[in-house]
Structure 1
C-alpha cells in the first residue's frame, strides 16, 4: 500500500506541477486551445495516442472483446494502429493543419462552420460535440474507478471525485500545452506499463506459448479451439469493432484537434510514425492481453460482475509493485483522455456555441475565463453521471463509448474528409449528415435503455448494440455527403475556391525532401 500510494502521489504532483508551469503558454485563446500551433512531433503524437487509448480501452473494450474473440481481439489493436493512427495522420494530418490555419479555426465546429460558410452548422456541431462527449467522459471514470477499488479498496465515488479535481486543476491552469506535456509523460508510462503487465500475466500460464495452449483447451460447442484462432468465433463482429474504434477517430473532435496544433511539415511526418508505433504497443498490447481473459475468469463470474470486471480480475493476483504500475498506467491513460475531452468540450462551447447563439463577440479575457469555468462544469456533470451510472443497470463501458463515438464520427467524419479534399461538398449535405448521425445514435441510446424495441431483421441487426449502429452511421455518412452534395450544388459555399488556394501556395524545400522537376537522363 505504501508503494502504491507513493507512486500515485508522485504522479499527481508531477501532473499539477506541469499544469502550473504551462500557465505562461495559456495567456490567450490560441495558446490555451492550441499551444500557439507550435507543438512538436513527439508531444503531438503522444497527445494523439493518449487521447485515443484510455481506461475505456484497457478495462472496457479489452475485457469485453478479449472475452468474445479470444486472442484474435489483437486485430482490433492493430486496426487502431494502422487505420486509426497511420492512415488518419497520412490522410488528414497535413491538410487539416494547412486549412485550419488558413481559416483560423481552433475547433472542429469552427472549422466546419467556416469551411461551409454557415453559423448554424457551427452551432449544431458544437452542441453535438458537447452532448455526446459527456457519456464518453463518464465511461472513463467508470473504468478507472474499478481498478482503484481493486488496488486501494476506495469507494467508487471518491475515486471519481479525486480524478475529476486533479484533471481540472492542470487543464484549467495550463490549457493545451499542459495536456500535451502531461500526455507525453503519461504515454511513456503506458508504453512501459503495458509491456510489463503482459509479461507478468502471461507468465502465470507458462508464457506466450503456454497461454496459447491453454486457450486452445477452452471449450466452445461450435468451434473447438476457436479462442486462439486467427479470426476468432465472430469475424463479422470483429470487423465491426475494428471499424468503429479505428475509422471512428477520423471524426472525433478531440482527436482531429491535435492536427491543428502541430508545428510544421517535419513534425507531421515524424508524428505519423511515432503515433503508429505507440498505438501498436498500447492498443495492440491491451487487446492482446484481454484475449487471454478466459484463463482467469469463469462465465459465472462474467455473468455476475460484467465484462468490465475481467481485466481487474486478471491483474488482481500481480505483485504489489506491478499493481502500482497498472494503477499509474490506467490513471495516465484516463487522465490524458479526460483532459483532451474537457478541453475540447469547453473550447467549442465557449468559442462556437455561446457567441453563435448570443450573436455577440466576447473579449479574449472573457473567452479564457469562460473556458476555464466550463471545464469545471463539464467535469462536474460527467462525474455526477459516472456515479449515477455506476448504480444503474447500464454497466457496460463499451456501450457508453459506442454511442458517443458513433454520433460524433457519424456526424463529422464525412464533412471533415470531403471538406478537406472535395470542393463540391455542400451545406445541405453536411446538415443531412449531422441529422442522420445524431438521430441514429439517439435511437440506439433508447434501445440500450430499453425504451424502444426495433422491429424487422435489418433494424434488429443495426441496433443490436452501439457498435453496429455506430459503424452504420459512419459508413452511411460517406455515401450521404457526396450524394446529397451532387443534388444540392446550389448550397455550395461561394468562397470554396479561395479556401482551397491554401493548398496551392508554393513552398521551397530541401533536395532531401524533393528531387525537383528534372527530367530523367
Structure 2
C-alpha cells in the first residue's frame, strides 16, 4: 500500500487553525446557551440553512464516506440506490411528511428530546425511559463506527497511530459538545459541512478527470467485471456497475440480500427514526423553515453520499490503470485481449529471488485478478506459469479485501498530498459533526430521559451533570469498541445495525404517535419491545456476519455461524426485514385491544382535528 509521509509542520498549523475555528464556534454556542431549551433544542429558533446543513452533516459521517464508500469499492455502484433512498426518504419524506408534525407536536408538548417526545405523546414514563435506555446502550456502537472511519484514514494518510487518532477525535468532540449543547453542535456542524462540500466536489472532479471523463470511466469499470475477485463472484457480484445477482435459495444470491436489506433498506429506512436527526425538526419556528431547508439538505446529501459511492466504485478502475505495479506468475488468462489475468502474487525475498505470497487465512499461495502491464507482450503472458509478469489490480486487491481501507488507500495513493490534508479535515468535520450530535443525544437521554424521569428532579443541576458524565462514558465505550473491533467492513456494519435497530424499535411508535390517534401507550411499549428483541435475537443467532463475530450462535448450534446456516440467503437477510413488520403489527394489534389514550390529551396533541 502506498501512502503519504508523516505529519509535517504545515499539516499541524492547518489542523490547529481548523480546531481553533471549531473551538470558537463551540464557545459561541456556549455563550448563547442560557436555558435548557438552548442546550437541548437550540432555543427553537435556528436558521433553516444552519438546520439543513447541520442535519446533513449529522446524517453524513465518516461511516458514509469511509465505511459505505469502501463498501461501494467492494460491491459496486449498486450502493447508489442508497443515495436515492437517502434523499427520497431521509430528506424529502422526513422533512415534508414527518418534519412539521414532529415540530408541531414537540412545541405543543414542550419536549426537548426524542424519547421525551414519545413519552409525552403516550403519557408514559416507561416509553420515555425505554427509548432513553436504548439510546444510551446502543448509540455508542454507531459512534464507534464514526470514530473508526476517521482514525483509519488518519493512520493511512499521515502515519499516525490508530489509537492516537482515536483519542484525538474523542477529546476534541468532548471539548465542545459537553459545555455548548445543541447550539455549539449546530454552529460547528455548519462550518464542518462547508469543508465537506469543497472536499467532495474536488474528489469527484479529480476521479473522473484521471479516468478520462465520465463515459470512459464508467465504460472501463463495466469492462472490468471479469476482474471481480472469486469470493465476491461466488456471492453474486456481477461487476462494479451492475446489481448483484437476484434470487433465493442459493449462496450465489447472498450479496443481493446483503446490499438491499442491510445497506439500502436498513440504513435508508432507519434514518427516519434517528433520535439525533428527529430532534432537528424541533429547532425551527415554523413549517416555512422546514420547507426552505429541503433543497439545501437534498443537494448536500447528494454530494456527500453520491461522491464516496461513485469514487469508491471507480477507485477499482483507477488502480487497474494507474495503481502500483504488482508482480506474479500468470495462473490463467481471463481475457487475453484486455490483458486480464489471474496472477499468483510473488514477493522478492532476496535480490533476484522470488517466492509466492501466502494468504494467511487459507495458508495457500495468494492469487489476484490483474490487468497485466502493457509492456508485457501478450504472447508471453498467455498460458505462462513460470515467467514473472507485472500488472495492476482493482482497489479491493490493494486494500486486501478490507472495505474500510479502500477510500483511505485511494486518497493516499492517487491524490496530491495537499488534498490528503483537506480530505482529512473533511473527515474530521464529518466525524465530529456526527459524533457531537451522537454524544449530545446520549447525554440528554441519560440526563433528561432517564435521570429526571426516574428521580422526578426536573430541570435540576444534577441532571446536567448526569448528561455530561453520560457523554464521557459514551465516549469511553465507543473508543473501546473502535479499538477492539476492526475486522471486515466494520464501519458500515455497525452503522447498519444501529439504523436498523432504531427503525424496528422506534419507527412504528413514532409514526403512530404523529398520525394515529388510536395508538396507545401499551401498543407503543409493546412495539418497541418486540422491535428491539427481534432485532437483537436475529443479530445474535441468524445474521451470519454479526452472529459469528459475537460467538453465541456457535455455542447454541455446535459451531455453525448461523441458526439458519443450512438455509441459503437467510443468514444474509437483515433484521429490519423481520423486526420492522412485526413491530408495526404489534403496535396496531395491541393498540386496538387496549384502552384509548385520554381524549383531552389527544386534543392537545391534535388540535387541528377537533370538530371532525
Normalising by structure 1, we get a TM-score of 0.89
Residue 208 of structure 1 deviates from its aligned partner by: 1.9
Q: Does 1:31 align with 2:51?
A: no
Q: What's the counterpart of residue 435 of structure 2?
A: 338
Distance 1:342 1:326 in 2: 24
Change (3 A) 1:502 1:341: farther
Residue 471 of structure 1 deviates from its aligned partner by: 4.3
Residue 166 of structure 1 deviates from its aligned partner by: 0.9
CA contact (8 A) 1:54 1:337 kept: yes
CA contact (8 A) 1:108 1:253 kept: yes
Which of 414, 427, 432 is 2:521 aligned to?
A: 427
Larger RCO of the pair (alpha carbons < 8 Å, separation 6+) = 1
Distance 1:39 1:289 in 2: 34
Q: What's the counterpart of residue 316 of structure 2?
A: 294
Unaligned runs of 5+ in 2: 1-7, 227-232, 247-255, 320-393, 541-546, 554-560
Describe the superposition over 1:50-76 as per-residue Cα deviations: whole angstroms up to 9, x where unpaired.
Answer: 1111011111112113421x2332221
Describe the superposition over 1:264-322 as per-residue Cα deviations: whole angstroms up to 9, x where unpaired.
Answer: 222111012211121111112221222224223455445x4511111111111210111
CA contact (8 A) 1:64 1:307 kept: yes
Change (3 A) 1:45 1:232: same
Which of 262, 277, 292 is 1:255 aligned to?
A: 277
Describe the superposition over 1:349-394 as per-residue Cα deviations: whole angstroms up to 9, x where unpaired.
Answer: 100111223x33144433333323322232222222222224xx56
Aligned-partner SS, 2:526: helix
Q: What's the counterpart of residue 514 of structure 1?
A: none
Q: Does 1:309 align with 2:405?
A: yes
Judging by fraction of residues, say which structure has more strand. Answer: 2
Q: What's the counterpart of residue 198 of structure 1?
A: 204
Q: What's the counterpart of residue 515 of structure 1?
A: none
Describe the superposition over 1:426-482 as per-residue Cα deviations: whole angstroms up to 9, x where unpaired.
Answer: 1222122212222123224421423214434898745426xx113433344333322
Residue 167 of structure 1 deviates from its aligned partner by: 0.8
Q: Does 1:438 align with 2:532?
A: yes
CA contact (8 A) 1:133 1:345 kept: yes
Distance 2:13 2:157 in 1: 13
Q: What's the counterpart of residue 124 of structure 1?
A: 130
Change (3 A) 1:315 1:472: farther
Change (3 A) 1:471 1:53: farther
Normalising by structure 2, we get a TM-score of 0.76
Q: What's the counterpart of residue 73 of structure 1?
A: 79
Describe the superposition over 1:222-268 as per-residue Cα deviations: whole angstroms up to 9, x where unpaired.
Answer: 99974224x45556554322222222111110110101112222211
Q: What's the counterpart of residue 579 of structure 2?
A: 473
Q: Does 1:113 align with 2:136?
A: no
Change (3 A) 1:281 1:85: same
Which of 450, 453, 473 is 2:551 aligned to?
A: 450
CA contact (8 A) 2:49 2:296 kept: yes
Q: What's the counterpart of residue 510 of structure 1?
A: none
Distance 2:265 2:313 in 1: 18
Change (3 A) 1:328 1:298: closer
Distance 1:11 1:458 in 2: 53
What is the aligned residue count? 497
Distance 1:168 1:456 in 2: 42
Change (3 A) 1:151 1:300: closer
CA contact (8 A) 2:74 2:401 kept: no
Change (3 A) 1:325 1:299: closer
Distance 1:505 1:257 in 2: 27
CA contact (8 A) 2:258 2:572 kept: no
Segment drifting more, 443-452 vs 325-334:
443-452
The 5 Å alignment of 1:104-253 reads 104-220=110-226, 226-229=239-242, 231=243, 233=245, 237-240=258-261, 241-253=263-275
Residue 144 of structure 1 deviates from its aligned partner by: 0.5
